[in-house]
Amino acid sequence: MFYLGEYDEETAKEIRDYLDEAGLKVETRSCLVMDNDTIFTIKDKLSVVKELLKEDGEEYGRSISVLKSALAQATPENFDEIFLKELDPQMVETRDKILAFSKAVKSQDQMVVDQEPKNQESLDQEASDQEAQGQQNPTPEKEDALEFSADEWLDNAISISKARTFARMVFDLNGIKIGEAVENKLDDPIIEIKVDPNDFEIEPEQMKCNIHFYLDKSVVIFVDEFTTPLASELDDEFWDEYPSEAQSLKSLGLLIEKLAMSPSSRKMDFAEFVEECNMTLEDKSDILNVYGEDVAEDLARILEKGGVLKRKGDRLKWKSS
């Protein structure tokens, strides 16, 4: 069987449905898998962290100063907003523009849904009237003049999340509750931050290695090699969603088709067959190379099992032309 890949249950079911529809013979096998994540951290007083991290440590010191200022004027209800604005006003301004844009888009979409359908004649007349008056349909993009890429939107969301996570970490490690007296708890608070061990010439004694193991279920998909020529019947959507899998199945299918074709004498030495297990296809712009000589024994067994040929010693005989 040809190993196609290992997937989560939902993806495996979707792939199998595509392969079944095309006529490929599929087998699946469930198994437990273990993922791991290794994180290095330093947990100590702010003064110690600043000494270890130098410039980065100063940035944490500034965040603590902002925390102290925000706590002095905040309630549990408005702490987030005050803290984020003092930490980075531009970050909050960007967030507000993104939220306003999203709200405008939703409102416009709802207006479209609520409007009665118009026939093509009335739509053409409306467009003509607007063109004559020099008008254009307003859009959220033009109204808000947002100039943020998707990456900038994501970076903004990550920055806000990191700021909130930092504040919660400081509160948890130092027994601080919003609305209660802080006293001297933020003068030199304990903080815990992620670090890269490669950044240190000498490993700090405060550094800890945290290894997290996540046990999950996975599904392995195998495909009967003899049915891979049917990959030509795979739906176009499969090629769009799983191009690597589609290309692998198509390439193997082409090789199987080539090997299944009977030579003129209907006989061949195994050494010749090994050479035939490589294939090159070329058109004007692309070259496809498939190398199967290292698994020639397996390919011969696949063809024999499929009833294409009979092997006796180092001789192979095709059953039909």
Q: Give the pLDDT confidence of 135-148 residue by residue, as tens digits.
A: 444 444 444 445 56
d(CA 96, CA 84): 12
Percent over 70 (pLDDT), the chain: 85
Radius of gyration for the alpha carbons in the chain, expressed in angstroms and rounded:
32
Characterize 233-252 residue by residue with b for buried, 16 or more Cβ atoms within 10 angstroms of its Cβ, and e for exposed: ebeeebeeebeebbebbbbb
Same-domain pairing of 311 and 278: yes
138 belongs to a structural domain: no
Question: Which residue, of 214, 235, 264, is where some domain finishes?
Answer: 214
Of residues 238, 256, 232, the one with CA closest to residue 305: 256
Q: Which domain holds residue 276?
A: 2-25+224-318
Same-domain pairing of 232 and 210: no
177 belongs to a structural domain: yes
Position 94 pLDDT exceeds 90: no
Same-domain pairing of 61 and 154: yes
Same-domain pairing of 206 and 74: yes
pTM more than 0.75: no
Q: Given this model, what pLDDT does residue 284 score?
A: 80
Tens-digit pLDDT profile for residues 219-259 = 999 999 999 999 999 999 999 999 999 999 999 999 999 99
Position 123 pLDDT exceeds 50: no
Same-domain pairing of 169 and 68: yes
Mean pLDDT of 167-193: 92
